[in-house]
């Protein structure tokens, strides 16, 4: 189980809010690309949606929105 300091998580959420609507490399997406849709008010959750990939793949982007932990999306955007 991962324990995260609340203020650390809030800083990551605030940083992500500056990147809403940007796409990023996403290993959990069928197309390997997603777009950040938003971040929850509490700062614990980020909402993403698959976008078209950079590579010729046979998968179409899903239209559903995924709810994922902020630290996971922050790592996808900025690395460690």
Q: What is the largest CA-CA distance in the chain?
A: 41
**Predicted pLDDT of residue 80:** 67
**Predicted pLDDT of residue 7:** 82
Q: How sure is the predictor about 2, in pLDDT bands with cuts at 50, 70 and 90?
A: low
Instruction: Judge if pTM exceeds 0.85.
Output: no
Tell me: the pLDDT tens digits for 7-65?
888 899 999 999 999 999 998 888 889 999 999 999 999 999 998 877 766 777 778 89
Residue-by-residue DSSP string for 16-71:
HHTTTT-EEE-TTSTTSEEEEEEE-TTSSEEEEEE---SS--SPPPP-SEEEEEHH
Strand 33-39 to strand 23-25: parallel, antiparallel, or no bridges (unpaired)?
A: antiparallel
- Can you tell me the distance from the alpha carbon of 32 to that of 13, in angstroms, rounded to the nearest whole number? 22
**Predicted pLDDT of residue 29:** 87
Domain ranges within the chain, ordered by starting residue: 6-53+61-78
């Amino acid at each position: 189980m991962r324990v995260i300091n609340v203020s650390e998580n809030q800083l990551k959420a605030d940083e992500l809010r500056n990147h809403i609507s940007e796409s990023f490399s996403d290993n959990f997406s069928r197309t390997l690309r997603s777009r950040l849709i938003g971040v929850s008010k509490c700062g614990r959750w980020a909402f993403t949606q698959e976008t078209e990939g950079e590579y010729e793949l046979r998968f179409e982007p899903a239209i559903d929105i995924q709810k994922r932990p902020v630290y996971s999306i922050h790592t996808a955007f900025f690395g460690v």
